[in-house]
Structure 1
Amino acid sequence: MSARIPRGAAVVVEAGKVLVVKRFLRQGAAAECVMCEYGDVPGPRCEGHRYAVLPGGHVEAGESAAGAALRELEEETTLTGTLDRLLWTGTHNGRPAYYFLVSNVNGVPRLSGDEAVEHCATNHFELRWADAADLERFGIYPPELRERLTRLLE
Structure 2
Amino acid sequence: MVIPRAAAVVVDGRRALLIKRYLRHQTRSACVMCDAAGWDGPECPGHQYAVLPGGHVEDGEAAETAALRELTEETTLTAQVDRLLWTGEHNGRPASYFLMTAVTGTPLLSGPEAEAHRPNNTFELVWAEPEDFDDLGLYPADLRPPLAELLSPPA
TM-score tier by shorter-chain length is over 0.9
* Separation (CA, whole Å) in 1 of partners of 2:117 and 2:131: 25
Number of aligned residue pairs: 152
Task: Report the identity percentage.
Answer: 57
Candidates 107, 110, 131, aligned match of 2:108: 110
Query: Contact (CA 8 Å) 1:31, 1:43: kept in 2 or not?
Result: no
Task: Kindly state the Cα deviation for residue 131 of structure 1 after the two structures are TM-superposed.
Answer: 0.1
1:46-57 matches, cutoff 5 A:
46-57=44-55
1:63-102 matches, cutoff 5 A:
63-102=61-100
The code of the aligned residue for 1:11 comes to V
The code of the aligned residue for 1:130 comes to A
Task: Kindly state the Cα deviation for residue 25 of structure 1 after the two structures are TM-superposed.
Answer: 0.1
The CA deviation string for residues 25-79 of structure 1, in whole angstroms up to 9 with x for no partner, is 0000000000001110002000100000000000001101111000000000000
TM norm structure 2: 0.97
* Separation (CA, whole Å) in 2 of partners of 1:41 and 1:8: 26
Structure 1: stretches of 5+ with no match in the other structure? none
SS in 2 for 1:144: helix
* Separation (CA, whole Å) in 1 of partners of 2:13 and 2:148: 13
The code of the aligned residue for 2:59 comes to A
The code of the aligned residue for 1:28 comes to Q
Candidates 119, 122, 125, aligned match of 1:121: 119
* Separation (CA, whole Å) in 2 of partners of 1:106 and 1:16: 18
2:148 maps to 150
Task: Kindly state the Cα deviation for residue 15 of structure 1 after the two structures are TM-superposed.
Answer: 2.1
The code of the aligned residue for 1:109 comes to P
* Separation (CA, whole Å) in 1 of partners of 2:36 and 2:57: 20
User: Deviating runs (4+, > 3 A) in structure 1?
Assistant: none
1:9 maps to 7
TM norm structure 1: 0.98
* Separation (CA, whole Å) in 2 of partners of 1:85 and 1:73: 15
Structure 2: stretches of 5+ with no match in the other structure? none
The CA deviation string for residues 6-30 of structure 1, in whole angstroms up to 9 with x for no partner, is 0000000002100000000000000
* Separation (CA, whole Å) in 1 of partners of 2:70 and 2:58: 11
The code of the aligned residue for 1:37 comes to D
